[in-house]
Chains A and B, each alone.
Chain A
Amino acid sequence: MDGDRRLPADPLDPRARLIALLGFVVVVVATPPRAAWPFLAYALVPAFFIGYERVSPRALARRLLFLGPLLLTVVGTRLLWFLLQHDSGQPTLQNEVWLLAVLGMRSGLAVLAVAAFMGHGDINRLAQGLRGLGVPAILTGVMEQAYRYWRLLWRELGLLRDAAGARGFRPRHLGDTVTLGRLTGSLLLRSLQRAERVHHAMLGRGFAGTFPTSHPLRWSRYDALFLLPALILPAAICAASHLVE
């Protein structure tokens, strides 16, 4: 009967995970960029949980890649500015490099923290935690449904594109985007029709507006064991970085 339950249900309250995550990120962003060592020390907190939860390194790397475009934008614009203002003598190359390093460290730490603290991405628990922290139930309900159906719709979109591809459609330039839009439009049409059927299926099983849960959230000692180090450690590092001048 318990074949699929080797793993005890997550002992942590999802609210604890969210609080730890938000606290960590706020502390990291608030740390003055005077020295590198606090940022490097922060990394050890998510590192432990990344190991503990066995987050796959590939997924982690992929997440870090999301930082690329905006980091490049900032590098580009700063570089441009640097070149234009060079005669004024104010910014120096080393300063610029340091600033970008700080940006990279801060954003990278936040990405590590999301991967580390959100566990294995259990959407139900996440939604329950968000609701417990005051996020409107309608919003978490929409999140849960979006999470449930995006893969399905992405696959349907893939089938539509394959079907168009089989008849010779290759999007090459911006002009092809209208055709791509028509494909996507037929996916939207199907999605809205599906939404109607899902709505019927929900009503058919007594849905009255929000997802019912039968496991109410309860704080436990695990949460304290988790929250104390997860919050105190970064706070201590931040305080130390302020003290060391």
Chain B
Amino acid sequence: MHIPDGFLTLPVAAATGVAAATAVGYAARRAGREMGESAVPVLGVSAAFIFAAQMLNFPVLAGTSGHFVGGLLACLVVGPWNGVVVMTAIVLLQALLMGDGGLTALGANVLNMAVVGGLLPWLLVRALGGSVRHTRTSYLAVAGVAAWLAVVLASATCAVELAVSGTAPLGAVLPAMVLVHSVIGIGEGLLTVGILGVLLSSRPELLRGYPPPLSLSPSPAGFRKRAWGVAVTGLVVAVLLAVFVAPWASSQPDGLERVAETQAFTDRATDQVAAQTPLFDYQFPLLGDTPWSTSAAGAMGTVVLFGLVVLLGRALGRRASPDGAEIGHDGT
């Protein structure tokens, strides 16, 4: 679900980036105001928990497994805006220290996992969680379904972002992503139910905003109004993005789809490569005089040059401190 760099065009990256930055900026202000000096330790340890839980694989179908995302869980446990802060911190850490998820895709990833996969389903739980009767079971059921929906919605947004960038055709990537994630989402839903169940039976007071307000009692009118406000604003922003950004984005020269139509790798690109760099004038013996051969030779040349430059860097470089945190403590 983490989109790397290069899969989104810059206009898509910028649009999602602005949207995400707005949401996160607001969330950070709210979190500071609501929680005061407890924000850093409480949200920080919660983020560490989600981070650890994300490394948990669960079996999906014979042989395959999915992993936990936790956007909705974060929002349910620490509150919606605090949850956005928690998920953003995780996405940032993964992008900057682990190399999981791109930098230009930060906005899209935050949008998918914190807003579409957290805030939105949270609204659903909030609105429906206490609608029928205040029972633990109804709350858990709604939360489970919402967690499933969170994963499916996030995967759909991810697919749309890829499609608008011209990376993958919408007609194929949307159904594929939604299909796969509607199975993986079952795991997310069940995990969320299991986790919340433990919390509800032993320390329900740790769960912010539980029990959710009864939608039929007199007070939630204001809430419903706000929920509508959020929904309408979201819709307007989405439409604006679709109307103004999407056509621009797909007409960009570096939209991959477009390039596919106008330029053939065989007749132009490789000729240029060969013409410009003497190194690429070689051909790979096994492949004969084909564009594949040129490419293979080019790739080989690059690998060699890459290695030489790494060695040059090492020669000029410094010895890493044995106690400096090493890169790549990922996945310990």
A→B interface (CB under 8 Å): 4, 6-7, 21-22, 25-26, 28-37, 40, 43-44, 47-56, 58-60, 62-63, 66-67, 70, 73-74, 76-78, 80-81, 84, 90-92, 94-99, 101-103, 105-107, 109-111, 114-115, 118, 120-123, 126, 130, 136, 138-139, 141-154, 157, 171-174, 176-189, 191-192, 194-196, 198-199, 202-203, 207-211, 244
Contact = CB atoms under 8 A, between A and B. Distances in A.
B198 A244 contact: no
Listed from nearest, the 4 A-B pairs whose CB atoms lie closest are A181-B194, A145-B44, A59-B328, A51-B313
Contact of A29 (B6, B88, B276, B315): B6
A154 B168 contact: no
Contacts of A139: 24, 28, 85, 88-89, 92
Interface in B31-87: 31-32, 36-49, 51-53, 55-56, 58-61, 68, 77, 85-86
Nearest to A7: B321
Contact of B6 (A40, A110, A151): A110
Contacts of B92: 130, 139, 143
Contact of A114 (B99, B172, B199, B301): B99
Contacts of A194: 45
Nearest to B331: A62
A152 B52 CA distance: 9
A104 to B, nearest CB: 8
A47 B311 CA distance: 9
A84 B193 CA distance: 40
A76 B172 CA distance: 9
Interface residues of B, number: 131
A103 to B, nearest CB: 6
Interface of B: 2-10, 13, 24-25, 28-29, 31-32, 36-49, 51-53, 55-56, 58-61, 68, 77, 85-86, 88-90, 92-93, 95-104, 162, 167-169, 171-173, 176-177, 186-187, 190-199, 202-203, 206, 253-254, 256, 259-261, 263-266, 268-270, 272-273, 276-277, 280, 291, 295, 298, 301-302, 305-307, 309-321, 323-332
Q: Is the interface of A mostly helix, strand, loop or mixed?
A: helix
Given A66-B99, A157-B53, A110 B197 contact: no
B256 A81 contact: no
Given A121-B325, A184-B56, A189 B198 contact: yes
Contacts of B39: 138, 141-142, 209
B43 A30 contact: no
B32 A184 contact: no
B37 A145 contact: no
Given A77-B172, A122-B325, A178-B194, A142 B40 contact: yes
A63 B197 contact: no
Contacts of B270: 35-36
B260 A99 contact: yes
A181 B188 CA distance: 9
Contacts of B254: 29-33
B103 A174 contact: no
A51 B309 contact: yes
B256 A33 contact: yes
A210 B31 CA distance: 13
